[in-house]
Amino acid sequence: MKDMEVKSPSFVNCGYMPKKHTGFGADISPEFQLLNISDDTVSIAVIMDDLDIPLVQSYNHWLIWNIPKTEKIPENIPYGSPVSSFYNAIQGAAYGVNRYRGPKQPIFVRNTHRYIFSFYALDCFLKLDCSSRKKDLIEAMNGHIIQQGSITGKYKR
């Protein structure tokens, strides 16, 4: 089976993310297009991580799951959980809040950071509440992942 292909009208894979998708701008989630999704997909989950935080493997910025099978995830997913205007999708506790949190490096960080958006096509909806963290989501997805895809954006203060 082919992997899911992920594109965004906001940035190309490994390209720079616009300021509006960062904590220095409007801090709104980008739009994504999902291509080659398996017919067996029931729901989609998304994990966004900063890959360039010193001393840790990655730093989690966004978790959202229980998105019914779709080929488009719109820009600016509202804060909170569940997201009533977006299929009652659940946003987990990433970066300490239930919402998208874009790049916002501290003033002393001057290097470019990479942000990977990982998408998972699942064979079910997950029974997790909004207090769940990345490790909980990964554990719940175990054995239910049909396909994966990702796109990486960069940002420099």
> Can you list the domains of the chain with their CATH numbers?
5-155 (3.90.280.10)
Per-residue pLDDT tens over the stretch 78-133: 999 999 999 999 999 988 889 999 999 878 778 899 999 999 999 999 999 999 99
Please give the model's pTM, rounded to 2 decimal places: 0.95
In this predicted structure, the answer to whether residue 136 has a pLDDT above a threshold of 90 is yes
Phi-psi region of 81 (alpha: psi -120 to 50; beta: other; left: phi over 0): beta
**For the chain, what is the radius of gyration of the CA atoms?**
15
SS3 assignment, position 138: helix
Distance CA 45, CA 36 (A): 16
Distance CA 66, CA 49 (A): 19
Distance CA 133, CA 65 (A): 11
Residue 1's pLDDT band (cuts 50, 70, 90): low
